[in-house]
């Protein structure tokens, strides 16, 4: 596979998982690689720009640059090393940090070449995949909490503020990213907030959690993104309720699979709901300062 901006890349991958009912983890991984990883270039937000290099796609965004690959199976060591070094040099010339999205089933030499080129690993996440019908009843909305869809900027800003509190970082950029996605392709994203009357803030309902479903056009997949909950509201089933609500939206859109890059907090919950860990993914980050 070669990365291009041609949407035909999507249709080539579509249909590769026919008859996936009762799928094993291996079958779900095959579906993920064929449909999700193979179609990045054809479904990027309008504010992202692609810079293809054969089997590698370099992407610039308003927030952070990315590198995606098809896994590079069958490539020679020299080819893999060349892809890594060209990506590093491309972003070094731009004086820009970049994240290479590495998967555990990628070329066996890739991780070593990334380290040698100055890319440093961040926290590993689990790639969790499941079928939409299996999580429709993931959980009920707990008493005192309301889940509703949002798209207005003021609500997106409230989500970004909640995420900033959860992660102890400035996530103001998230409101811009969600707004761009909603404006560019409103049918391909569903943003949900969970609100409650919080004793810590009686002036207005508090956004206690948020999550969004991102439809991957040309595939049968939807991505479960977000899913963060304020610390004092965890353990009440809000995360599971958000999974179930997004699964219902996915079903209405005709999707078959859901995919999550899951932390160790959410992975066990998703597996109990009937989803499968099919691989791991690790951000390998290169920065001009570190190099």
| CATH 3.40.630.30-classified regions of the chain | 131-278
Contact predicate 182/45, CB 8 Å = no
Whole-prediction pTM value? 0.85
Q: What are the two backbone dihedrals, phi and then psi, of residue 107, each rounded to the nearest 5 degrees? A: -50, 135
Q: Is the pLDDT of residue 168 over 70?
A: yes
- Average pLDDT for 171-181: 94
The per-residue pLDDT for range 6-50, each reduced to its tens digit, is 333 323 333 333 333 457 899 999 999 999 999 999 888 888 999
The per-residue pLDDT for range 60-75, each reduced to its tens digit, is 998 889 999 999 999 9
Q: Which pLDDT band holds residue 241 (cuts at 50, 70, 90)?
A: very high
The per-residue pLDDT for range 258-282, each reduced to its tens digit, is 999 999 989 999 999 999 999 999 9
What interhelical angle do 173-184 and 153-167 show, nearest 10? 140
Q: Which residue has the higher pLDDT, 197 or 192?
A: 192
Q: Which pLDDT band holds residue 3 (cuts at 50, 70, 90)?
A: low
Neighbours of 154 (CB within 10 A): 8
Q: Is the pLDDT of residue 289 over 90?
A: no
Q: Which residue has the higher pLDDT, 3 or 68?
A: 68
CATH code that applies to domain 131-278: 3.40.630.30
How confident is the model at residue 197, as a pLDDT? 85
Q: What is the 3-state secondary structure (H, E, C) of 215-241?
A: ECCCCCEEEEEEEEECHHHCCCCHHHH
Pairing of β 221-229 and β 189-198 = unpaired
Q: Which pLDDT band holds residue 4 (cuts at 50, 70, 90)?
A: very low
The per-residue pLDDT for range 112-131, each reduced to its tens digit, is 999 999 999 999 999 999 99
């Amino acid at each position: 596979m070669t990365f291009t901006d041609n949407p035909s890349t999507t249709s080539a991958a579509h249909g590769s998982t026919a008859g996936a009912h009762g799928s094993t983890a291996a079958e779900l991984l095959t579906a993920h690689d064929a449909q999700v990883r193979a179609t990045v270039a054809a479904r990027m937000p309008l504010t992202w720009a692609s810079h293809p290099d054969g089997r590698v796609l370099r992407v610039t965004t308003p927030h952070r640059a990315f590198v995606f690959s098809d896994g590079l199976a069958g490539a020679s060591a020299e080819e893999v090393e060349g892809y890594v070094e060209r990506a590093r040099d491309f972003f070094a010339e731009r004086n820009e940090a970049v994240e290479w999205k590495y998967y555990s089933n990628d070329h066996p030499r890739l991780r070593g070449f990334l380290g040698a080129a100055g890319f440093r690993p961040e926290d590993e996440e689990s790639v969790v995949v499941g079928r939409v019908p299996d999580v429709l009843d993931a959980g009920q909305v707990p008493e005192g909490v309301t889940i509703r869809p949002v798209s207005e900027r003021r609500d997106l800003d409230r989500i970004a503020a909640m995420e900033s509190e959860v992660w102890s970082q400035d996530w103001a950029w998230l409101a811009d990213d969600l707004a761009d996605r909603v404006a560019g392709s409103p049918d391909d994203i569903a943003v949900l907030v969970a609100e409650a009357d919080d004793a810590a803030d009686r002036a207005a309902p508090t956004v206690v959690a948020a999550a969004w479903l991102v439809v991957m056009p040309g595939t049968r997949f939807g991505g479960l993104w977000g899913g963060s909950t304020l610390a004092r509201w965890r353990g009440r089933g809000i995360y599971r309720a958000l999974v179930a609500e997004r699964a219902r939206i996915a079903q209405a859109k005709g999707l078959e699979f859901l995919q999550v890059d899951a932390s160790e907090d959410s992975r066990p919950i998703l597996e109990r709901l009937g989803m499968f860990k099919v691989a791991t993914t690790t951000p390998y980050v290169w920065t001009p300062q570190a190099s």
